[in-house]
């Protein structure tokens, strides 16, 4: 099964602000549904049931203090001129806390950290690359709410034509 460890976005206010930006960018790409918005802390890839059970047990050993991230800024990877993904960024303090949590999770699971650059939240996936510099120009400093991080989940991902379907395999709460 395809799996990863993530922090889900659950704050209603943040979800509404993110959805508002997604509506403004409708037509540019495929929106990530509110139920699928998350920060990936560790991508495990294809694992079997035994490995998933072991990952769930290892995740249970993770201890962290709750913290808050502020969603700030909208951008694109690899660039706004030729994007594949439109993302929401996070503030420096929350981003640092997410990166530290990712390192802790990866250490517990025995995998290499997969945080490249600053943590981000994927909002849209772009099929055909289109120049989005004008569309994204005014969103660089946009504040999209905040999220208290107090749970981490091991997720299963099933890829379908309509997009991925995620389900929970294990969960750990903050200390």
Catalytic residues: 38, 120
Neighbouring-strand partners of residue 30: 125
58: left (phi over 0), alpha (psi -120 to 50) or beta: alpha
Query: What does the angle CA 118 – CA 119 – CA 123 come to, to the nearest 5 degrees?
Result: 120
Distance from the first to the final alpha carbon of the chain: 29
The gap from C-alpha 28 to its chain's centroid, in whole angstroms, comes to: 20
Q: How far apart are CA 138 and CA 73, in angstroms?
A: 9
Residues 6+ apart with CB under 8 A from 164: 36, 157, 158
Bond from prior residue into 78 cis (ω within 30 degrees of 0): yes
């Amino acid at each position: 099964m395809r799996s990863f460890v993530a922090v889900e976005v659950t704050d209603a206010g943040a979800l509404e602000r993110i959805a508002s930006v997604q509506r403004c960018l409708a037509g540019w790409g495929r929106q990530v549904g509110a139920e699928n918005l998350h920060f990936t802390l560790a991508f495990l890839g294809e694992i079997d049931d035994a490995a998933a059970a072991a990952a769930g047990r290892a995740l249970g050993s993770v201890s962290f203090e709750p913290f808050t991230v502020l969603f700030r800024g909208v951008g694109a990877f690899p660039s706004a001129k030729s994007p594949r993904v439109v993302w929401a960024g996070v503030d420096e303090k929350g981003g640092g806390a997410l990166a530290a949590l990712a390192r802790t999770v990866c250490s517990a699971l025995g995998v290499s950290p997969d945080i490249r650059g600053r943590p981000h939240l994927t909002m849209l996936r772009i099929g055909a690359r289109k120049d989005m510099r004008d569309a994204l120009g005014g969103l660089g400093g946009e504040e999209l709410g905040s999220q208290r991080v107090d749970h981490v989940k091991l997720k299963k991902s099933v890829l379908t034509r309509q997009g991925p379907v995620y389900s929970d395999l294990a969960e750990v709460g903050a200390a």
